[in-house]
Structure 1
Amino acid sequence: MDLARRARSPESVLHRRRLGHSELSYFLPSRANGVNDMYLHIGFKAPSSLLSPERVLLAWAILRARHPLLASCVKYPESKYEEAEFIYAKPQSPGDVLREAESSFSTGTIDKDTLIDSYLNGPRVLGPDHLSHLFLATHDRTDANRMQQFDLLLAATHFLGDGMALHTFANDLFSLLVRHSPDAEPEDSLYALFQQEWRDGCGAENLELLPPALEDRLPRVSCSRLKNALELADFNQTQDRVIGGHTFPRPSPMPAERERHTVVPTISFTPERTKAILKKCKTNGVSISSALFALVAVVWARTARTMSDAENLRWPIMLYSAMNMRPYLPPLAAEQKLHDSYWFLAIGYFNIILPSFVPEGSSLEAIFWHRARSAKAQAAAAAKSQFLVSRTRLMAESRAKRAIKWAAEDDEKEKPVTVPSTKPSAPKPPSKNIPSSQVCSKTPSQCLMGLSLLGNLDGMYDHALYSNARMSMHSLTTGSRQRQGGMLLFGYTFAGKLWLSLGYDENGFKRGTVEEFWSDVVKSVGTFMG
């Protein structure tokens, strides 16, 4: 029985909570075509017996029971978007747990590129009644030692969690499979663990509550009217300082019906070269993440100079990124300890603003490292601000309000069209109150692109544990279903290698511009970073 039917079943015990502002801001735009639905792909080699579909399903079921949001659905009364809530139908038996997990688990012999392309550009896999899914792709080639190549893709809606949840979950999944070997004694098998978890957890009362939303975990809002006013003033000032005048050129004309098609060109650097890049960044006092902000800005400045709208160079380049808010959350109250889960959305946002001009006669490498240090200072200022919590809360409220407004507009467009009156309306007189110079003087607030800089992901995976079971990981790709004209650059270290991947809608930009930019980015890593 699927979750939607179980949620309506009278014998089901249902647990509910409202979506927080951050969750709502991601849920509402995702309804039509799965915008921002996340995925994490990992390519690895392991003994075929370790990754049998039956064992993976058991591990998947165990973790879904530990993290009930994965097995929840989202419902809301018609047009009452702010009342959207998670609903978790508590399993009534171990069989319920397995059947529910099986409905969100797929296996096959598909190759990695086809698997990712199908998820990004094909019909939506997820939805309000299906918030997560696990794909296990196997390959027919098996060597004499019964070793096999696998591709695993974990999919989840973005309002369910974030990148930290994805990677923590993947490590937990692999750790379960490795620690409970196929050759283990019956009492130490995955099935025995599944039964034990049901007795100790799934069937007990410690799943009564869903994990609280970010806004409920943040430190309490001050009751001081003065402090609240100061926080609001700070938030408004930070928004006024968000200045950027650069975007990638769009096709002209841009057909409304142009189909979105996301591509993800990806490059990795050898462990040796990655170490050299890290060493050079350290010598210049920055992390690889700060250097990547500067890399994008410098490469774009060179690209923009060759375009017809080069006059926009007088405006700076704005890039946006997400901040992991988990380190800033206070511990859960004692009564919530049993209900803790890392599957919840916990991100804030910040912008990096860098110059778009390159001074003549100056050392380009010196400019690059100076801008990398500027990016580092801006990111540190955002993370260490005394207003970080209030900015996060107010930004979430602002994003939720916009999402509700746009959702109402989208739903209005879906309603049957009424025939308008044939009586012509009187033309509106031209405005005489606003000088044309004032209309044109608005400071632009356009973002060139987003950067998701995940750092050293090897720190989130227990490679030593995997190797004991002859499992070795060799590739990782992550991203999300894009909106039309979307673009996001990912940078991270995995398997000892630096990876860069650019997910973008190739039909949403002027042909050749993004390709030229990406080619220059790849070349410039060697020019500036080693």
Structure 2
Amino acid sequence: MTIQMVAQDAVVETEPVVKAQVQVKEHPAGNPTRCERRLGDTEASYYLPSRESGVNDMYLHLGFNALPRQLCRDRVHLVWAILRARHPLLGARIEMHGYDDIRFVYDCPKRAEDILQSALGGLEFRSQTKNELIDSYLNGDRTLSNDRLSYLILSSGSAPQDGTVDENAEQTFDLLICATHYLGDGMALHTFANHFFGLLGGSLSENELGELLEHEFNRLYVGNDNLDHTLPRHVEDRLPPLPESKFFKAVSKVDFKLNQRKLLGGHGFPRRHNQFRHTIVPTFSFDPSRTKAILQNCKVNGVSISSALFALCNVAWARTHNQNWEQPIMMYSALNLRPFLKAEKALIDSYWFIAIGYFNVVLPAFTPQSSDIKSTFWYRARSAKKQSMDAAKHPLIVSRSIEMAQERASRARVWARQDDEAAGVVSPTPTTPPASIGNTPVPECLVPASKAPSTALLGLSLLGNLDGMYKHADFPRIKLHTLTTGSRQRSGGMLMFGYTFVRKLWISLGYDENGFEKEVVDKFWSNMLTAVDELL
């Protein structure tokens, strides 16, 4: 068997795979076992818009230094295969039978070498810079598809002109982990990356990694007669059960609609129409000493850096667009639902699934004169903190999250059907959706329609302290130094990221530069960085 790697210029290289450590062992049934399950509402709401051009396909870039021998292709291949064995959704595919019947399908391996072969189809080695990797993923042809839900790219940068490589000298490498958003979320991505580097930079040799792959195959697939839970269940099925009474269903619906009525926003970046989307990701980091001072300042004022970033965007936009100040500014963010999930005791207990809800922060647009701006800034940061905590700790958080998922999935199905009909595609046969609390109608008199604007300025993805997720001491021979993350966007998309990593605060803004007025976005980004220096 050979490992086949296709570089970007379509030059095919082959190297022998490590074979001695992987013994071929047939599955007891003699054939792969097909496992499948329907997508939940949250998954469907991300899958359907992604079909044409990969909207929301995630990426995580990590730059690091390591010795070349630690990154040999056989070693990377084995680590990738081990983790795909542990997380079968990474090796699954999608089958769509109807807008309400979309399924993950996974063929269980019948031998350990099948896992290696499957991993090979989602692995590529390149010689590109970080910016080239990210630009290609965001703006080039789609990397992922219904048959390839995850992909791994390792780049060694530009090779020396004479072709020599000093195995005893550290080199810079770039890793790009790619996955569809309906496959997982940021928590899954970063947890996976930490485990990947733990194996790659750990003490196990290639032979020992091969033995570990064989062990994982035996543990997960040999003698396991119950493969029903091979694929992790969707988030709606893992949340605590809700009361079945009609009264609770009606109360949940009313609560959800009343909460949505509170979402008032009258500000948005001026858009321009261009059929060609081009996403860029300007990124700025603050050195460890400056980051330490920023975090200490936030602590003294009773907020986290995440809450402060909402207030910074608020101030930056007020200084960018000093109009329409009587309308509030609304921003949205993702809510981690994993703390609310029921405990799982499945043989394959994978963290690769999407488990996010959504919440909004609404702040005034008006800002006072410079002499009062600091006190106003911290007051609004505390307001953002309160709104975030109220959303996460609300007693009806589970029903609100399920309602939101149903609403988003319902819209996605309508738009998908319209897109298919406009493209002349025969729509899949309609199927009956599962019963849900969203089927309970709400009288108009209880939640009257609102004419107030509900425009969001932008979204914030607040990842927190990633040094708490990456156990750097577990892979001392690999030194991580750069992290960038994001996703393929639709035209006119914009999302800001904020996190700390390797003791630095990082802020990045991923947006379609052809979808907005450049001068306005540039001014906002400049005001954002200036506000950090001034207020933090």
| TM-score bracket relative to the smaller structure | 0.7 to 0.9
Counterpart for residue 481 of structure 1: 488
Counterpart for residue 238 of structure 2: 217
Q: Aligned in 2, Cα 1:342/1:144: closer, same or farther, shift over 3 Å?
A: closer
Which one of 241, 245, 253 corresponds to residue 232 of structure 1?
Answer: 253
Counterpart for residue 192 of structure 1: 211
Deviation at 1:193?
1.1
1:18 equivalenced with 2:27 (yes/no): no
Contact persistence 1:486–1:508 (CA under 8 A):
yes
**Letter of the structure 2 residue corresponding to residue 246 of structure 1:** H
Deviation at 1:510?
1.2
Which one of 374, 377, 380 corresponds to residue 365 of structure 1?
Answer: 374
Counterpart for residue 128 of structure 2: 110
Counterpart for residue 523 of structure 2: 516
Counterpart for residue 170 of structure 1: 193
Contact persistence 1:65–1:202 (CA under 8 A):
no
Q: Which moved more, 1:478-487 or 1:515-524?
A: 515-524
Q: Return the alpha-carbon distance in structure 2 between the equivalents of residues 143 and 457 of structure 1.
A: 32
Deviation at 1:200?
2.1
The aligned runs of 1:425-464 (5 Å cut-off) are 442-464=451-473
Alpha-carbon displacement from aligned partner over 1:59-105 (angstroms, at most 9, x marks no partner): 1011101111111111112xx21100100011122221111100100
Counterpart for residue 292 of structure 1: 309
Residue 451 of structure 2 aligns to a residue whose secondary structure is coil
Contact persistence 1:249–1:509 (CA under 8 A):
yes
Q: Return the alpha-carbon distance in structure 2 between the equivalents of residues 447 and 117 of structure 1.
A: 26
More helix by share: 1
Deviation at 1:11?
4.4
Counterpart for residue 444 of structure 2: none
1:44 equivalenced with 2:56 (yes/no): no
1:316 equivalenced with 2:328 (yes/no): yes
Q: Which moved more, 1:240-249 or 1:223-232?
A: 223-232
1:203 equivalenced with 2:222 (yes/no): yes
Which one of 468, 480, 501 corresponds to residue 494 of structure 1?
Answer: 501
Q: Return the alpha-carbon distance in structure 1 between the equivalents of residues 251 and 398 of structure 2.
A: 13
1:408 equivalenced with 2:429 (yes/no): no
Deviation at 1:516?
1.0
Deviation at 1:384?
0.8
Residue 517 of structure 1 aligns to a residue whose secondary structure is helix
**Letter of the structure 1 residue corresponding to residue 472 of structure 2:** H
Contact persistence 2:139–2:278 (CA under 8 A):
yes
Counterpart for residue 403 of structure 2: 394
Q: Aligned in 2, Cα 1:237/1:416: closer, same or farther, shift over 3 Å?
A: closer
Counterpart for residue 303 of structure 1: 320
TM-score, scaled to structure 2: 0.87
1:83 equivalenced with 2:90 (yes/no): no
Q: Return the alpha-carbon distance in structure 2 between the equivalents of residues 498 and 264 of structure 1.
A: 16
Deviation at 1:314?
1.4
1:160 equivalenced with 2:183 (yes/no): yes
Q: Return the alpha-carbon distance in structure 2 between the equivalents of residues 203 and 365 of structure 1.
A: 62
Q: Return the alpha-carbon distance in structure 1 between the equivalents of residues 258 and 166 of structure 2.
A: 62
Q: CA RMSD in A?
A: 1.9
Q: Flag structure 2 segments of 5+ consecutive residues without an equivalent.
A: 1-29, 427-448
Residue 480 of structure 2 aligns to a residue whose secondary structure is strand
Q: Return the alpha-carbon distance in structure 1 between the equivalents of residues 192 and 227 of structure 2.
A: 18
**Letter of the structure 1 residue corresponding to residue 116 of structure 2:** L
Deviation at 1:229?
1.6
Contact persistence 1:490–1:500 (CA under 8 A):
yes
Residue 482 of structure 1 aligns to a residue whose secondary structure is coil
Deviation at 1:361?
7.2
- Identical columns (%): 53
Q: Return the alpha-carbon distance in structure 1 between the equivalents of residues 369 and 470 of structure 2.
A: 46
Deviation at 1:178?
2.6
Q: Return the alpha-carbon distance in structure 1 between the equivalents of residues 120 and 523 of structure 2.
A: 44
Alpha-carbon displacement from aligned partner over 1:107-165 (angstroms, at most 9, x marks no partner): 01111100000000000000111100000001336557332211000000000000000
Which one of 52, 66, 74 corresponds to residue 32 of structure 1?
Answer: 52
Contact persistence 1:180–1:190 (CA under 8 A):
no
Deviation at 1:204?
4.1
Deviation at 1:12?
3.4
Q: How many residues align?
A: 479
Which one of 265, 281, 299 corresponds to residue 282 of structure 1?
Answer: 299
Q: Return the alpha-carbon distance in structure 2 between the equivalents of residues 483 and 280 of structure 1.
A: 36
Residue 313 of structure 1 aligns to a residue whose secondary structure is coil
Deviation at 1:207?
4.8
Residue 523 of structure 2 aligns to a residue whose secondary structure is helix
1:507 equivalenced with 2:514 (yes/no): yes
Counterpart for residue 277 of structure 2: 260
**Letter of the structure 1 residue corresponding to residue 333 of structure 2:** S
Q: Return the alpha-carbon distance in structure 2 between the equivalents of residues 319 and 497 of structure 1.
A: 24
Deviation at 1:194?
1.3
1:55 equivalenced with 2:75 (yes/no): yes
Q: Flag structure 1 segments of 5+ consecutive residues without an equivalent.
A: 1-9, 418-439
Q: Return the alpha-carbon distance in structure 1 between the equivalents of residues 502 and 244 of structure 2.
A: 48
Contact persistence 2:152–2:177 (CA under 8 A):
yes
TM-score, scaled to structure 1: 0.88
Q: Return the alpha-carbon distance in structure 2 between the equivalents of residues 226 and 396 of structure 1.
A: 21
1:135 equivalenced with 2:135 (yes/no): no
Deviation at 1:330?
1.9
Residue 475 of structure 2 aligns to a residue whose secondary structure is helix
Residue 346 of structure 2 aligns to a residue whose secondary structure is helix
Which one of 74, 88, 91 corresponds to residue 68 of structure 1?
Answer: 88
Q: Return the alpha-carbon distance in structure 1 between the equivalents of residues 66 and 453 of structure 2.
A: 52
Deviation at 1:203?
3.4
Q: Return the alpha-carbon distance in structure 2 between the equivalents of residues 465 and 69 of structure 1.
A: 26
**Letter of the structure 1 residue corresponding to residue 213 of structure 2:** F
Deviation at 1:360?
4.5
Q: Return the alpha-carbon distance in structure 2 between the equivalents of residues 458 and 160 of structure 1.
A: 24
Q: Return the alpha-carbon distance in structure 2 between the equivalents of residues 405 and 234 of structure 1.
A: 24
Structure 1 stretches (4+) deviating beyond 6 angstroms? Answer: none
Q: Return the alpha-carbon distance in structure 2 between the equivalents of residues 197 and 511 of structure 1.
A: 51
Contact persistence 1:93–1:203 (CA under 8 A):
no
Residue 350 of structure 1 aligns to a residue whose secondary structure is strand
Q: Which moved more, 1:229-238 or 1:23-32?
A: 229-238
Contact persistence 2:465–2:499 (CA under 8 A):
yes
Contact persistence 1:208–1:339 (CA under 8 A):
no
Q: Return the alpha-carbon distance in structure 1 between the equivalents of residues 425 and 38 of structure 2.
A: 30
